[in-house]
Amino acid sequence: MGIDDIKSIGVIGAGTMGAGIAQLAAQAGYKTFLYDLSGGQLTKGLEGINANLSKAVERGLITDSIKAAALSNITVTEDISQIVVDVCIEAVVERLDVKVDLFEKLAAQNATDCILATNTSSIPITRIAAAVSNPERVVGMHFFNPAHIMKLVEVISGAATDKAIANTIYQLALKMGKKPVYTKDAPGFIVNRVARHYYVEGLKLLEENVADHETIDALLESSGFKMGPFRLMDLIGVDTNYSVTSSMYESFHYDSKFRPSRIQQQKVDAGHHGRKTGQGFYSYK
């Protein structure tokens, strides 16, 4: 499947990341199907896309006609059987079993050359592809939050990924206005491997009562970082960040320097997932 063969894209998961990816696909001119189990989440996702596009119009970045064209390219559905497309991009929960089950279903109802791309932050592409038919078409396409703004996209090849497929996804990212980079299938890939300790060490300081989270954020921001680790976790999603840390902890054979924080786990257990729930390390209510 080459870049010129792609006419339709299915995005699985209408959360913050999935909705942002669907917006990018639609703006790039592709017939886009946005799927989620929850009709309420689909409604919320579509409202978010509309709001993002409206802001872009207000800022003079796009015209009303471009906004209308992008929205007309999007079809929302709660029926996964409608996802018969050229490229599937999953943006669901960061769990291997869920992603494998999803790709098995998509592989069964799509052509053998349909590209299966995962937005995973840390789960090895090789492990996801191993249980899927034609594993050479499974590739990582990792966007960053917010997907419609952040430029970087990691294109990750697993052990079986066809180089031509990785190149097609690279070209697709370019068409979406992104700056893609190729990376190997290593724990955390590039960004999460490098950035993980920004969160982990901040959480250790909090656990050890060295300072409160506001002070830690203020210190890092005064040092030149745009956002402190706690503000950034709230933006990304405390639950998502915790899942990535847990996955990397396992991938590095439980090396203590990747140990997830009990404070972060407590936040997740309480449903304090950051901006998206109105409460994280900070309150957004």
Measured CA distances, 208 to 109, 189, 199, 201 (Å): 51, 29, 14, 11
Global pTM?
0.88
SS3 250: helix
Pair 141, 173: CB distance under 8 Å: yes
Task: Judge whether 243 counts as a catalytic residue.
Answer: no
Task: Judge whether 167 counts as a catalytic residue.
Answer: no
Name residues whose C-beta falls within 8 Å of residue 256's C-beta, 6 or more positions apart in sequence.
none
Active-site hit among 142, 148, 213, 273: 142
Identify the helix (H) or strand (E) that includes residue 204.
helix 191-207
Residue pLDDT tens, the chain, 285 long: 899 999 999 999 999 899 999 999 999 999 999 999 999 999 999 999 999 999 999 999 999 999 999 999 999 999 999 999 999 999 998 889 999 999 999 999 999 999 999 999 889 999 999 989 999 999 999 999 889 999 999 999 999 999 999 999 999 999 999 999 999 999 889 999 999 999 999 999 999 999 999 999 999 999 999 999 999 999 989 998 999 999 899 989 999 999 999 999 999 999 999 998 999 999 998
Task: Judge whether 73 counts as a catalytic residue.
Answer: no
Beta bridge partners of 33: 10, 75
**For residue 229, is the peptide bond before it cis, meaning its omega torsion is within 30 degrees of 0?**
no
Active-site hit among 192, 241, 243, 251: 192
Tokens of 142: 């990792």
Task: Judge whether 121 counts as a catalytic residue.
Answer: yes
Instruction: Name which of 122, 78, 116, 113 is nearest 100 in CA terms.
Output: 116
Give dist(CA 86, CA 111) in Å, integer.
Answer: 8
Pairing of strands 87-90, 8-12: parallel
Domains of the chain, earliest start first: 3-184 (3.40.50.720), 192-277 (1.10.1040.50)
Tokens of 21: 């990816």
Instruction: Name which of 278, 284, 200 is nearest 242 in CA terms.
Output: 200
CB-based burial of residue 152 (10 Å sphere; 0-12 exposed, 13-18 middle, 19+ buried)? middle
SS3 187: coil
Active-site hit among 154, 157, 243, 247: 154
Name residues whose C-beta falls within 8 Å of residue 168's C-beta, 6 or more positions apart in sequence.
1, 2, 3, 6, 115
Q: Counting runs of H as helices and runs of E as strands, what totals does the chain give? A: 11, 8
Beta bridge partners of 76: 34
Pairing of strands 31-35, 8-12: parallel
Q: In what order do the strands lie in the sheet with 115-118?
A: 74-77, 31-35, 8-12, 87-90, 115-118, 138-142, 152-157, 179-184
Active-site hit among 52, 73, 110, 121: 121
